[in-house]
Amino acid sequence: MHAIVVGGGIGGLGAAAGLHRVGWTVTVLERADEFGDVGAGISLWPNALRCLDELGIDLGEHLAAQHEGGFRDRRGRRVTRYDTAAFERIHGRPLGAIHRRDLIAALRDAVPAESLKTGAEVTEVREDGLVRFTGGELQADLVVAADGIRSPIRHALFPHHPEPVFGGSTAFRGVTKYPGARLSTSFDRGTEIGVLPLTGDDVYWWVSYVTEPGNRPDDPKKYLQRHFADWHDPIPALIDATPPEAVLYHDLDYLGTPLKTYVRGRIALLGDAAHAMPPFLGQGGCQALEDAVVLANAVSTEDTTEAALERYDRERRPRSQKVARESVRMGKLGPQLTNPVALKVRTALLKALPAQVTVRVGKEITGWRPPRLPRPAPPRTP
């Protein structure tokens, strides 16, 4: 059985790794000249770490487990402590963080090198599994459309479905060296700033705030330095230490109208192509990895590709769309909150929550367990 995966990001490579693991021949078509991810860091919650286990991927020293953290106001005053030890006891896994390039590299290494094609822009995908791209065409038993939030394949399959919408906030991101940084999320009116330690003294930071779409400053770094210089340490220092060309900027768009199905013919939508969501739960990449494992399990246990895709849609669409709705809701209750009275109420509620309670929030999302995938047979002794 042959699968074509369109897109070489987290979801696409995760799907390719899963399909390869269950015995399928896989071809990954990536339109860029090399596999990589324009991005900074990513949080990996226990649900995603379990998916990586099923895919046979060990992140090793690239994964940074978070051991302490909390929520603060802009002046650095603690609002509530995040009990990472209790979190790990509940889930059996820590909250992890990794540079996106390292995650992409690990996923890529789980796929045979001959299966990876770069500089291959897909021009047509048919429901019968025919894929045309720059350089040729291929026929597949399954096509995985992991081509991102602006998915051309999704648009071709569902031309009347609304395109992604602006989520109300814009975001800046970066990675820089800063020894000793600790996990933190800081709030102010319509603003969230996160600090997420990676390995090797790297720190991933992000800033999101409520604004109009497309309101891009001419010099993003100078803009951040001007507007966030009075926030608590180490936020100004992190911004200062990041090279201007390494400061990323984008509006936070998402798929506001849920799809009625993730499949059509032999095609399965996966990751952002299926359920692009705001980042306020840190679940975008995690949900793509869930998609990948469920799809691999379905094709390895169902009698036909049609039955496998029906099951994939039945299992993944309700859950991923629920997580997307929760991400929108979390944004409105947290970083997008602008009413001064509501801000005071939220802060008071967070302060009243015991640390052991905060780590249970969202447990039904982060506690999800993937289906099992086959393990490679041990080598035979002579």
Q: Give residue-wise pLDDT tens across range 266-315.
A: 999 999 999 999 999 999 999 999 999 999 999 999 999 999 999 999 99
On the question of pLDDT at 192 being above 70, the answer is yes
| Predicted local confidence at residue 376, as pLDDT | 64
Could you tell me which of 12, 257, 255, 278 has the C-alpha nearest to residue 145?
Answer: 12
Distance CA 382, CA 378 (A): 12
Give the pairing of strands 122-125 and 116-118.
Answer: unpaired
User: How many residues are given for the chain?
Assistant: 382
Provide the residue type at 316 as one letter.
R
Which two tokens mark 5?
Answer: 């995966």
pLDDT exceeds 90 at position 211: yes
pLDDT > 80? residue 356? no
As a dihedral over the C-alpha atoms of residue 73, residue 76, residue 77, residue 78, rounded to 10 degrees, the angle is: 80
Q: Residue 135 — very low, low, confident or very high, per pLDDT cuts 50/70/90?
A: confident
Quickly tell me which residue has 């970083």 as its tokens: 335
The pLDDT of residue 87: 87
Quick one: DSSP state of residue 99? E
pLDDT in the model for residue 216? 85
Residue 281 neighbours by CB distance under 10 Å: 23
- Could you check whether the bond before residue 220 is cis, i.e. omega within 30 degrees of 0? no
pLDDT exceeds 60 at position 378: no
What is the model's pLDDT at position 69?
Answer: 84
CA distance 204 to 99: 8
| Inter-residue contact 103 to 59 (CB < 8 Å) | yes
Pairing assessment for the beta strands 136-139 and 64-65 based on DSSP bridges: unpaired
Q: How far apart are CA 88 and CA 238, in angstroms?
A: 28
Q: What is the pLDDT of residue 240?
A: 97
Q: Is the pLDDT of residue 380 over 80?
A: no
Which band of pLDDT confidence, cut at 50, 70 and 90, is reported for residue 38? low
DSSP state of 231: S
Q: Round to whole Å and give the CA distance between 287 and 36.
A: 19
Buried b (16+ CB within 10 A) or exposed e, 156-173: bbeeeeeebeebbbbbbb
H helices then E strands: how many in the chain? 13, 19
pLDDT of residue 74: 93
- At residue 131, the pLDDT reads 98
Helix (H) or strand (E) holding 78: strand 78-82
Better pLDDT: 129 or 35:
129
pLDDT at 377 over 80: no
Condensed to tens digits (0 to 9), the pLDDT of residues 48-80 reads 999 999 999 999 999 999 988 888 999 999 998
Contact 20, 112 (CB under 8 A): yes
Q: What is the pLDDT of residue 354?
A: 74
Question: Would you say the pTM of this structure is higher than 0.85?
Answer: yes
